[in-house]
């Protein structure tokens, strides 16, 4: 899916733009030009339609801009306008071919009120999580995967919880936490501004996507179609996520000042 590639691409674009124009990032006109490009990407993603990915790309973009030094009041203004536009989109979605969004909201509020497949996702996911316990029922012994639509994609963590228990979920979260710690380390210690922004953006993206997926699995938010990093099935999502991890595992030479880096390259 092109939307998956957009997550990493927009991080690299904003990091490059903000690292080259350090003093202009607090200028509202320059910030607006960057947000205009982000808005164009979001529009294309939303038309797929994939509102969940659009939200992640939007929040990740704000995180990169914040780390780059954009004024908080400017970003808050953008968030307020975006929330208004989002609710407007949801309000009028029944008049378009995207009426399924209103259905998802209704099923989220009352998951037991329908026998629809989308309802099964919510109810079966909660059943799988509630049956998990500490150790789970064992690999391959779960029954929810036979009844839960998208059990290998959006709701993969529900199956992990059922079969491997809360301990399995904790191990997955620990792995994601290690990726975030690596991103945080680069974002706070690298002497290269571009590296700092890219690492910070990737860390924000991975954590946001993980949090939203877990919120969907536990029915804290409506279904968004957002996969769990490293767990959910999906070739394009996995390839892009692994590419991001590859960037984070760049040799530690990137943490050295430019002069030291040049000296270290001399035989």
- Over its length of 267 residues, how does the chain's per-residue pLDDT go in tens digits? 778 899 999 999 999 999 888 888 889 999 999 999 999 999 888 887 788 899 999 999 999 999 999 999 999 999 998 888 877 776 666 555 555 566 666 665 666 655 555 456 777 888 888 878 888 888 888 877 888 777 788 888 989 999 999 999 999 999 999 999 999 999 998 888 999 999 999 999 999 999 999 998 888 888 778 889 999 887 888 999 999 999 898 754 454 444 444 444 344
Q: What pLDDT does residue 36 have?
A: 93
Query: How many whole angstroms separate alpha carbon 32 and alpha carbon 212?
Result: 27
Q: What pLDDT does residue 259 have?
A: 41
Sort 19 into a burial class: Cβ within 10 Å, 0-12 / 13-18 / 19+: middle
SS3 content of the chain, % helix, strand, coil (to 5): 75, 0, 25
Name the one residue in this structure whose structure tokens are 């209103």. Answer: 102
Query: How many whole angstroms separate alpha carbon 83 and alpha carbon 75?
Result: 12
Query: How many whole angstroms separate alpha carbon 151 and alpha carbon 147?
Result: 8
Whole-angstrom Cα Rg for the chain: 20
| 143: Cα within 13 Å, side-chain hemisphere | 3
């Amino acid at each position: 899916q092109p939307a998956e590639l957009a997550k990493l691409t927009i991080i690299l674009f904003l990091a490059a733009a903000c690292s080259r124009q350090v003093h202009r990032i607090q200028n509202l006109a320059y910030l607006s030009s960057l947000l205009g490009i982000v808005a164009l990407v979001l529009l294309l993603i939303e038309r797929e339609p994939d509102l969940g990915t659009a939200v992640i790309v939007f929040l990740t973009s704000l995180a990169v801009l914040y780390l780059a030094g954009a004024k908080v009041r400017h970003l808050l203004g953008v968030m307020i306008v975006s929330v208004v536009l989002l609710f407007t989109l949801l309000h009028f979605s029944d008049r378009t071919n995207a009426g399924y969004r209103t259905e998802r909201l209704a099923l989220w509020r009352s998951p037991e009120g329908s026998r629809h497949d989308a309802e099964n996702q919510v109810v079966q996911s909660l059943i799988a999580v509630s049956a998990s316990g500490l150790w789970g029922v064992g690999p391959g012994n779960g029954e929810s995967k036979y009844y839960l639509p998208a059990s290998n994609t959006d709701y993969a963590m529900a199956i992990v919880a059922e079969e491997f228990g809360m301990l399995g979920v904790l191990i997955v979260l620990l792995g994601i936490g290690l990726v975030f710690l690596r991103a945080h380390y680069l974002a706070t210690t690298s002497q290269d501004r571009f590296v700092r922004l890219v690492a910070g953006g990737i860390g924000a993206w991975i954590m946001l996507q993980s949090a939203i997926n877990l919120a969907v699995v536990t029915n804290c938010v409506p279904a968004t179609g957002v996969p769990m990093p490293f767990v959910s099935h999906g070739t394009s999502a996995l390839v892009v996520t692994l590419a991001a991890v590859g960037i984070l595992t760049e040799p530690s030479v990137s943490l050295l000042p430019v002069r030291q880096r040049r000296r270290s390259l001399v035989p």
